[in-house]
Amino acid sequence: MAGLRVRGLVLGWGLPLLLAVTLLGPLLLGRGYALVGDMVFVPDQPWKPRWIGADGSVPRAVPTDAVTWALGTVLPGDVVQKLLLVLTLTLAGAGAAALTAHRSTGARAVATVLAVWNPFVHERLAIGHWALLVGYAMLPWVVVGAQRLRAREAGGWRAVCWPLALAGLTSPTGGVLAAFVLLAMVVPRPRLLGPALGLALVVNLPWLLPGIVNTAATPADPFGVQAFAARADSPWGVLGSVLSLGGIWKESVAVAARDSWLLSGVGVGLSLAAFAGLVLARRRDPAVAVPLLSLVGVGLVLTLLPTVGAGERVAEWLVTTIPGGGLLRDSQKWMATGVAGALLGSGGGGRRRGPRGPGVVAPGRGRCWWPGRRFRCWCSPPRAGVSPAPWLPTPTRRSGTTSAVSWSGPVRPTVARWCCRSGSTVASTGTVGMPCWILRRGSFPAT
């Protein structure tokens, strides 16, 4: 039990932290500031009304500058910079590990490395878009929280609120990205759609309100659509560059190795394999895979829209006509909506497989196995007439000290916890597993 807990901590937080420190190594050695593009931290940042959009300007960095100002009143500016960067990348990797918690150790490690070490992160760090990376890091956490919300688990709204708020409090684009992901995940549950939309609006108010009030601000320049459109940073063209999470508009920050047909081709192949894994997961876990697939499609459309003639004209019209349309510029950033899907699909997209055959029960803290669409669990002592959730039937069969529950439909974590809690044993003929408590081995009739 202790070994599994340690392994979970190493995969969930140790590996992401190691990757973050390795990636940021030169910056973390000694004191000093890294002044890169839009990432400017100073020893003594004064307060200005502009930090909250109160000067009538476009709230491009609202409330990012207010957050850094507040942190700078407590810690030196260079320490704030280092902590923010390390925490951002660590949270990105930890979110990937949480999103793939039901999969094997190797698959979780692959997803964690992909979340932290990819062209998107490199290029955004090189251009100084640390605030956008905070929103990027929150996307897997939003998916995890939305899963809990849809499963009617306790604390589901809390699990959604904190990553959504953190994304919205650091950058407008991050807040919009997180809102997209949340709404896509709860669309199948119409009763959750209204509250989720309301929550997304509330956490984005710090920049939405100045944007609405400052109607006299300088209008967006349509030339920016072409200037900041995604471009090919590899021999595989714009589409191949974007699919491999590259393609930023600024040529000077692109990874030099992406000029190689071989190396960039490996990146494209790995990305395609991850998205293929997500497609395969559509049959086994449609409740998660289908929304994430739709987000991949939305990200591709928004990213590639300004790169084609008619699409460029549509994007220019949106930028100059629709309030807040300026967010559509720098189109490559919208590919972040597909990252959560790539993380889930990077290890095959399915749940971890286990042994076949009837009556498979693991002693101690382990895995109980059942098919993704139908399972039967035996709970001892019987819990006659007790239903853990509205969508789980009451025990349908009792024999001696054992009661059995048959269930057809998606397997939910709440079911696993109820069937696998202390004093219970679980068996099935399935091949797919989830974490559970099992205290003793049992022998049960085949289903």
Distance CA 34, CA 84 (A): 13
Q: Where are the domains of the chain?
A: 2-345, 365-437
Quickly count helices (H) and strands (E) in the chain: 19, 5
Gap between the Cα atoms of 326 and 320, Å rounded: 7
Q: What is the pTM of this model?
A: 0.79
- Dihedral angle computed from the Cα positions of residues 386, 390, 396 and 402, in that order, rounded to the nearest 10 degrees: -40
447 residues of the chain, pLDDT tens digit each:
455 567 778 888 999 999 999 999 888 888 888 888 889 888 888 898 888 888 777 788 888 888 899 999 999 999 999 999 999 999 999 999 999 887 888 889 999 999 999 999 999 999 999 999 999 999 999 999 999 998 888 889 999 999 999 999 888 999 999 999 999 999 988 899 999 999 999 999 988 888 887 765 566 678 889 889 999 999 999 999 999 999 999 988 888 888 899 999 999 999 999 999 999 888 777 888 899 999 999 999 999 999 988 899 999 998 888 877 888 889 999 999 988 899 989 865 544 443 333 333 333 233 333 333 333 343 333 333 433 333 333 333 333 333 344 433 333 334 444 443 333 333 333 323 333 322 222 322 222
What span, in angstroms and rounded, lies between the C-alpha atoms of 116 and 109? Answer: 11
- Provide the sign of the torsion angle of the four alpha carbons 381, 383, 387, 388, taken in this order: negative
Give alpha helix (H) positions in 31-151: 64-72, 77-99, 105-116, 119-127, 130-150
Instruction: Measure the N-to-C terminal CA separation of the chain; round to a whole number of Å.
Output: 29
- Return the number of other C-beta atoms located less than 10 Å from residue 233's C-beta: 27
